[in-house]
Amino acid sequence: MLDTLKQPKRGVVSPVSREQYVDAFNWMLLARTVEEKLASLWRAGKISGGVYLGKGQEAISAALGIMLKSGDIFGPLIRDQAGRLAFGESLIDVFRVHFGSRTSLSRGRDGNVHRGNPRGGYHAMISHLGSLISVVAGALVARRFQGDTTAIGATTIGDGGTSTGAFHEAINMAAVEKLPLVVVVVNNQYAYSTPNSRQFACSDLVERATGYGVEGHSLDGTDLQECLEVLGQATQRARSGHGPQMVVGDCLRLTGHGEHDDASYMDKTLSQTRLGRDCLKIAENYLQERHWADHVLLEDWRKNAKEQVENAVADAQHEPLADPAMETWCPYATKRIASAVLVR
Amino acid sequence: MPKIPIIMPQLGESIAEATVVRLTVNVGDQIANDQEVIEVETNKAVMSVTTPCQGLLDSFTAEVNETYPVGSTLGYIEASAEDVERLNLAEPPLVASAWFGPSHNAASADQTLSADDSLADNLEIPIGQNGAAYQSPRLRARLQELGIHPDDAAVVPGSGIAGRVTVRDFEAYIEGLNRLPSKKASPMRLAVADSMRRSWTRPLATLGVSISLEPILAHRKTLTPSPGPALYLAKALAIALSEYPQSAARLIGDKIVLPASIDIGVAVEVEDGVIVPVFAELDKQPLAGLPGQYKKFLQSAKEKRLPEEAKRPAIASVTNFGTLGVHWATPIPLPNETLIMGLGYGEKRPFWDETAGCFVPRLEAELTISFDHRVIDGGQSGRLVRRIMELLGAPEGL
């Protein structure tokens, strides 16, 4: 029964190449390095507001990011640092927004996770979970009006976000409109502190795909290989006119909801299960097993990631902070603002 | 080598302070990049503080088991000059209070960004978001901080985009005010100001007529103690309103609320303000009894201690601005009143006597009515004034 629900699952899957795997791995590694630095800067009092990390979810995020092409639309969630980087976010923009620089994408008006560049098809995360799906779906409708038939859109949501009305409305609408939309549901077992058992009653979130009339896929979020295969297929099907794709990836959040949260409520036994594996470690092992990378090369990549991050942090700290006295505080989008900033 | 402070970080959006639990390194230790040096406890969790760069741990100023607010210096790290330059650590992090006043940050920002860059990409400002009418959330927060009413900031000319008042404009304005002599406003002044602000939320209109004071002057000679013109007016107003109570009605939501009794206030000037003692059920009180009562009110008003019976809310008031030598005024009814009547300065004026066929000198004054135009219209207020004129023309009936 479940198998048919999850169809089509890995029909004709093109094998993942070394190049693609290494590419995704390096985005994962860079994201992990960025986030470790963000946590450290936050604990040194250099970042105000919250810091939200995607530790344990880098494989899904990076795999999604590299499947998107220039011209596609991406609406990342708070744990999508890897996907953001793979989609083209520059490292310095990550730190600019966390420091509150005037040069940041939000001009320092909003911090941390709410950053995007709509003109580049890169939408800012919305904390009201589920809303981002409508935004990406709407952007795809706009593209359709413009005659763009090649772009797809992708967005990520958590297990908790699937319980919102906005999620339901958006997927339903996208299904009706047969939009080339990939919705990645990352089931990291906890919606902040609420476990799956208090979040939904179905046995697997992918079952919902049938109800919405969209194609459903499942993947093991700790396994980069599988993430690449399944997301490769899902994005391909969206691109080739098969309508919305719902991809449910299982993993465990290997961090608190934010850095302020010690996650003391989490079930400790989960980390001993397959779900609790660190996707970065698994990928490292896989690279070595396949002889795609050795110890020396891995160390080299780590050093390189660290160096890039340290340089971006140093550069961003030389940039001016936002100055409320100089701000215009215009919260409304007029037609001109929309045409200048929002529409590609 | 430069010393860089180790700061108590904001360990959560609602966290204002944290307690130092443990120092995890020793003074003199070489500290690596991102190394944890102090363990602190918030009301949510135990977390570690890191240093802003690598270096030699110079000193701890924080003590174990002590609680420190976010932003406090917990110690110092001795960093290399290169690291300080590379990470731009020489300048202390910008804190909220530094946003106002001469900001070094704005100056350095202007070197890298032109003024235009800061102006929302020079995008258009929506209608209604221009000039002094618009107050940014930041400005509103600042006004609140200073306990200043938003209207008070509306007098400041704005230099921001679309003539908006920036926080900096406002700070300059306040700085200018600080150079002028000032004193604390009395509670009475603040109460009057608040009352007038609330009144001014309504569309108020005023109309006036000339009346003869001769009948009143002749009549008051017959009474001892003799009532002043304001008391005649108050009594006439009370009678007129007992006949037309809807003139003193209030509009609350979709309801016209009628008065339960005809209670009329008489404005009395006191030091630094105005007090309005109230004559309860004035329509039922004989005129002859009013002067004694008024004298008591006047005395207690001067002492700012009105008797309880004079403190009830009035349905309308009378003000005798004529005592100031003023002919005409547009007084403002109190927030809970729909109208206020004013009496101007009495003076001899030529009056055309139809029967005698010549001008005769007559003591006249202006009678004004200022009213909430939502509740009563010109016609209704005009009829009320004509009725009062009629009553004042035959004071023996009061």
Tell me the per-residue pLDDT of B180-231, one tens digit each, with 9 for 90 and over: 999 988 888 888 888 998 999 999 999 999 999 999 999 999 998 999 999 9
Residue A72 three-state SS: coil
Q: Cis (ω within 30 of 0) for the bond into B52?
A: no
Lowest mean pLDDT among A143-147, B58-62, B165-169, B338-342: B165-169
- Whether residue B341 is predicted with pLDDT greater than 80 in this model: the reply is yes
Provide the pLDDT for residue B125. Answer: 66
- Whether residue A212 is predicted with pLDDT greater than 60 in this model: the reply is yes
The answer to whether residue B194 is domain-embedded is no
Alpha-carbon Rg for chain A in angstroms? 19
- Whether residue B114 is predicted with pLDDT greater than 50 in this model: the reply is no
- What is the percent of chain B with per-residue pLDDT over 70, rounded to a whole number? 90
Give the whole-angstrom CA distance, residue A197 versus residue A282.
27
- B137 to chain A: nearest residue by CA? A329
CA distance to partner chain B, nearest, from residue A214 (Å) = 39
Q: In terms of residue numbers, what domain contains A200? A: 2-342
The answer to whether residue B191 is domain-embedded is no
CA distance to partner chain B, nearest, from residue A261 (Å) = 7
Are B13 and B151 members of one domain?
no
- Whether residue A66 is predicted with pLDDT greater than 90 in this model: the reply is yes
> Which of B47, B73, B103, B135 is best to mutate for the A interface (most A CBs within 10 A)?
B47
The answer to whether residue B98 is domain-embedded is no
Count of structural domains, chain B: 3
Are B123 and B150 members of one domain?
yes
- Which candidate from B89, B94, B138 shows the least CB-CB separation from A329? B138
Are B77 and B215 members of one domain?
no
Give the whole-angstrom CA distance, residue B40 versus residue B30.
21
**Chain B CB contacts of A49 below 8 Å:** 10, 13
**Chain B CB contacts of A46 below 8 Å:** 9, 52, 93
Are B221 and B128 members of one domain?
no
Quick one: average pLDDT of B264-291?
Answer: 92
Are B85 and B114 members of one domain?
no
CA distance to partner chain A, nearest, from residue B52 (Å) = 6
Interchain proximity A44–B129, CB inside 8 Å: no
Q: Report pLDDT digits (tens) over B316-334.
A: 999 999 999 999 999 999 9
Q: Is the ipTM of this complex over 0.90?
A: no
End residue of a domain, out of B71, B93, B115 = B93
Count of structural domains, chain A: 1
Interchain proximity B106–A318, CB inside 8 Å: no
Answer whether A261 touches B (CB < 8 Å).
yes
Lowest mean pLDDT among A317-331, B147-161, B201-215: A317-331
**Chain A CB contacts of B47 below 8 Å:** 43, 259-260, 262
The answer to whether residue B188 is domain-embedded is no
Are B213 and B314 members of one domain?
yes
**Looking at residue B331, which CATH number applies to its domain?**
3.30.559.10
- What is the percent of chain A with per-residue pLDDT over 70, rounded to a whole number? 90
Are B231 and B157 members of one domain?
no
Provide the pLDDT for residue B390. Answer: 96
CA distance to partner chain B, nearest, from residue A260 (Å) = 5
Inter-chain Cβ pairs, chain A and chain B, closer than 8 A? 139
**Looking at residue A326, which CATH number applies to its domain?**
3.40.50.970
**Chain B CB contacts of A324 below 8 Å:** 99, 136, 138, 167
Are B211 and B354 members of one domain?
yes
- Which candidate from B9, B86, B124 shows the least CB-CB separation from A43? B9
Are B38 and B121 members of one domain?
no
CA distance to partner chain A, nearest, from residue B86 (Å) = 6
Give the mean pLDDT of chain B: 87
Interchain proximity A45–B10, CB inside 8 Å: yes
Q: In terms of residue numbers, what domain contains B326? A: 200-397
The answer to whether residue B277 is domain-embedded is yes
Q: Which residue has the higher pLDDT, B12 or B57?
A: B57
Q: How confident is the model at residue B161 (pLDDT cuts 50, 70, 90)?
A: confident
For A243, A246, B63, B268, B359, the CA distances from B352, given in Å and listed in that order, are 94, 95, 94, 35, 4
Provide the pLDDT for residue B122. Answer: 56
Are B128 and B277 members of one domain?
no
The answer to whether residue B30 is domain-embedded is yes
Are B362 and B280 members of one domain?
yes
Q: What residues contact B367, with CB distance under 8 A and at least 6 apart? A: B208, B209, B210, B211, B233, B341, B342, B343, B344, B385, B388, B389, B392
Interchain proximity B105–A325, CB inside 8 Å: no
Interchain proximity B6–A44, CB inside 8 Å: yes
End residue of a domain, out of B143, B178, B213 = B178
End residue of a domain, out of B69, B93, B117 = B93
The answer to whether residue B187 is domain-embedded is no
Are B14 and B147 members of one domain?
no
Provide the pLDDT for residue B190. Answer: 87
